[in-house]
Amino acid sequence: MAKKEVEFLPVNESVSLTEFPLAVTLMCLNCPLLAIDENPRTPDRVDFVFSRERAAMLIQAYWAGSLLVDPKQFWNISRELKSRIRQR
């Protein structure tokens, strides 16, 4: 996987997060992952980059505990995402 998967988005158009379960949940809900970047503050972590437009409301709903995802899909996407992180 290339270091950057997509064109750079302006900071205000993207959201970067480090929470793995949140990233998997967003992907389960058809919010495409734009990039996996190195976390500048913590070298052993990565940042998951999503479009702010698509992710903003889902992130609020995630923290409110009001989202439901299919457990099998969550597991499969978790394994895929871990594999992508390891390949970096």
Q: CB count, 10 Å around CB of 70? A: 10
pTM of the model: 0.83
The Cβ of residue 50 has, within 10 Å, a number of other Cβ atoms equal to 24
Domain spans of the chain?
11-86
Residue among 34, 36, 2, 5 at smallest CA distance from 18: 36
Helix, strand, coil content of the chain in percent (nearest 5): 45, 20, 35
Write the pLDDT tens digit of every residue in 5-61. Answer: 444 545 578 999 999 999 999 999 999 999 999 988 888 899 999 999 989 999 999
Q: Enumerate residues 6+ apart whose C-beta is below 8 A from 70.
A: 28
User: What whole-number distance in Å separates Cα of residue 82 and Cα of residue 59?
Assistant: 20
Confidence of residue 2 (pLDDT cuts 50, 70, 90): very low
| Total length of the chain | 88
**Structure-token match 């390949």, residue found:** 87
